[in-house]
Amino acid sequence: MLKEMLENVREKCPLVHNITNYVTVNDCANALLACGGSPIMSDDIDDVEDITTICGGLNINIGTLNQRTIPSMHKAGKKSNELGHPVLLDPVGAGASALRTKTAMELIENVKFTVIRGNISEIKTLALGAGSTRGVDADIADRVTEDNLAQAVAFAKEFAAKTGAVIAITGAIDIVANAEKAYCIFNGHPMMSSITGTGCQLSAITTAYVTANQETPLEAVAAAVCLMGACGEKAYKRLSKEDGNATYRNYIIDAIYNMTGDELEEMAKVEIY
């Protein structure tokens, strides 16, 4: 299943429109290319409809959102909905500021999302209408562990039922859920949190995966999440004593570039709930 998802991306080379923050945008573009997709970035209100039209999917990431780009997110999202394109929301920092929370909530009201991907604090904020996010990281109190996993899965399924989107809550343990079914994914490495933008990269890649696998969005998201975690593991093994987070960043993207379907199947640590 994972293998098929990965190979569809490499075969179809989905063109993904990204409205995303300027912090990690370059990594998102290279991660998209690495996984077999093709990136285009465009955020001007007069440009986004044309660009979304020629693309296969849309990735909306609200990090470094501003008054100029928020209307562009709505316009591109609506156009993508009209065209039947998959749309992903990455609510970066929802819960950390009123503007971010409000923007994410309004986007969910106005645009039908195929996937919503964030950390547990961001997703809780969207589900409950308020929350506490430590900047762009999850609040420690919120973290998903083996102990509260069943509860977190139920929460994810409920929010998926409410929004109609596949919900991806990523952290030490990742949950990918629709209303009926959830995949829990145990791949990844703690050092991934010492790099900026692994979450943003995952959102970009996930958009490519759901674009190339439109019949099976839940499985497509699970495959993308496994891919990112497995690449975090592979990249960690390459590190020498003097390497740090900059080299690790490069090695993760390198690992995405080289990952095969068979290897992904082999490395995946997935449980169904």
> Binding residues for its own copies, per CB under 8 A?
15, 21-27, 29-30, 33-34, 38-47, 50-51, 54-55, 63-68, 93, 96-100, 134-137, 194-197, 238, 241-247, 249-258
Residue 205, token pair as written in the block:
């890649």
Query: Which residue, among 193, 201, 189, has the nearest Cα to 24 in the 3D structure?
Result: 201
Q: Measured between alpha carbons, how far is 4 from 137 in angstroms, rounded to an integer?
A: 32
244 CB neighbour count, 10 Å cutoff? 11
Amino acid identity, residue 273? Y
Residue 11, token pair as written in the block:
């075969």
Q: Is residue 168 within a helix (H) or strand (E), and if so which, with residue range?
A: strand 166-169
User: What minimum distance in Å lies between the beta carbon of 252 and its own copies?
Assistant: 8
Q: Measured between alpha carbons, how far is 259 from 76 in angstroms, rounded to an integer?
A: 31
Tell me whether residue 123 or residue 252 sits nearer to its own copies (CB atom).
252
Tell me whether residue 179 or residue 200 sits nearer to its own copies (CB atom).
200
Residue 217, token pair as written in the block:
């969005």
Q: Measured between alpha carbons, how far is 70 from 73 in angstroms, rounded to an integer?
A: 5
User: What minimum distance in Å lies between the beta carbon of 108 and its own copies?
Assistant: 19
Tell me whether residue 5 or residue 55 sits nearer to its own copies (CB atom).
55
Tell me whether residue 1 or residue 15 sits nearer to its own copies (CB atom).
15
Amino acid identity, residue 9? V
Question: 74 with 43: CB under 8 angstroms?
Answer: no
141 CB neighbour count, 10 Å cutoff? 9
Tell me whether residue 148 or residue 250 sits nearer to its own copies (CB atom).
250
Tell me whether residue 30 or residue 206 sits nearer to its own copies (CB atom).
30
Tell me whether residue 113 or residue 248 sits nearer to its own copies (CB atom).
248
User: What minimum distance in Å lies between the beta carbon of 158 and its own copies?
Assistant: 28
User: What minimum distance in Å lies between the beta carbon of 229 and its own copies?
Assistant: 17
Beta pairing partners, 185: 174, 270
User: What minimum distance in Å lies between the beta carbon of 267 and its own copies?
Assistant: 15
User: What minimum distance in Å lies between the beta carbon of 12 and its own copies?
Assistant: 13
User: What minimum distance in Å lies between the beta carbon of 87 and its own copies?
Assistant: 17
Query: Which residue, among 192, 172, 173, has the nearest Cα to 183 in the 3D structure?
Result: 173
Question: 219 with 9: CB under 8 angstroms?
Answer: no
